[in-house]
Amino acid sequence: MAAISTPFTDGFSIKVLLIDDQTIVGETVRRMLAGEPDIEFRFCSDPAAAIDVANDFKPTVILQDLVMPDIDGLLLVKFFRANSATRETPLVVLSSKEEPVIKAKAFALGANDYMVKLPDKLEIVARIRYHSRGYINLLERNEAYHRLAESQRELAAEVNRAARYVQSLLPAPLTSTHVSIGWKFVPSTQLGGDMFGYHWIDKKHLAIYLLDVSGHGVGSSLLAVSAANVLAAQGLSGADPRDPGQVMTKLNDMFQMDRQDGKYFTIWYGVYRPTGRTLAYCNAGHPPALLYSGGTVHQLEADGPAVGMMPEMPYDTRTISVAEKARLLVYSDGVFEIEKPDGQMWQYQDFVEQITPHFTRDSDLIELHLQFVRELNNNQTLGDDFSMVEVRF
């Protein structure tokens, strides 16, 4: 007989498995349930085959006699609970009389209910529905969790692929007669909006930039990639890529937040000219780049708001001299906005004080700082993307 789902089953039918060596008991229960179209019934008279039958039938409730030849009923209860497919299936033991000691043993081994056989039809149907309802709810919950877990795995795989794509766009370390550049990018648990790059505009001008889009996720990452591609291709019509102020003004016109789903980005953009040893730069709401030059650490402060926040916003270019053996550090806020184990946030000034002594040492400044913030955070995975670019002149 085909099972008919009731509203509470939502795709799972009520399935009753009776295990009893007496055929007359099986026939009696079958007749009791014959008038219940939503209940599917199966009878097993061989207790030695009970586990295999249950694995095949997948009942929502098991009715099991306690007194059977060849196998002890309590031992069979134990076997059902040791079997992975029936570990949580409601199990009702049937006995010929009320025996408190046997009841206690059955419950201790994992039985869910106890009936003196055979009860009235009204009672047996009510207990079958009651136990099946609870078990079906459990199955539905487990299935929902499984679907959610699978969806999360698929989403995580997509995000990981997107993260690998973003990382594939990052530039190779640069070494030339005028300058060398190294970097470290460590993504957080979410796909973020950090992106950076550098390239020779011509033989006399090197562009260096790092941007950070608001928020996390695919949208932020795509905007970061789009803006970086525009810079790498020098695709800002009417703006001289050697003039950071002009570049920032054009970026702001192109990426207004009302056309970018409410997203904006901070960016530091600089142009180094080896002839004359000067660094021209513009900072749109980004953390100040740090230039160690002539024995002093200079904070290259922000000149204007983040790109996309204010239309028709003019940005200015600033210029600073670069001494021999100077070092420039450009980074995102993920390198200093670190939550400590006590819940307090590490402050920007703490970062400056911590990083400053490393400028005077010929060491891997970026790797040392990454180790430091991981220890500070007490976690290998940080809450935001860690992006840091070091330029040695």
Quick check: 162 pLDDT over 90?
Answer: no
Residues above pLDDT 70, as percent of the chain:
95
pLDDT digits over 105-140, tens only? 999 999 999 999 888 999 999 999 999 999 999 999
3-state secondary structure of 347: coil
Quick check: 8 pLDDT over 50?
Answer: no
- Are the CB atoms for 133 and 8 separated by under 8 Å? yes
Q: What is the mean pLDDT of the chain?
A: 89
Report d(CA 214, CA 196) in Å as an integer. 15
Nearest CA to 95 among 129, 122, 72?
Answer: 72
Q: How confident is the model at residue 11 (pLDDT cuts 50, 70, 90)?
A: low
- Three-state SS string over 215-228 comes to CCCHHHHHHHHHHH
pLDDT digits over 209-266, tens only? 999 999 887 788 889 999 999 999 988 998 999 999 999 999 999 999 999 999 999 9
Report d(CA 106, CA 133) in Å as an integer. 22
Report d(CA 171, CA 39) in Å as an integer. 65
Quick check: 2 pLDDT over 60?
Answer: no
pLDDT digits over 335-382, tens only? 998 888 888 888 899 999 999 999 988 888 999 999 998 888 887 767
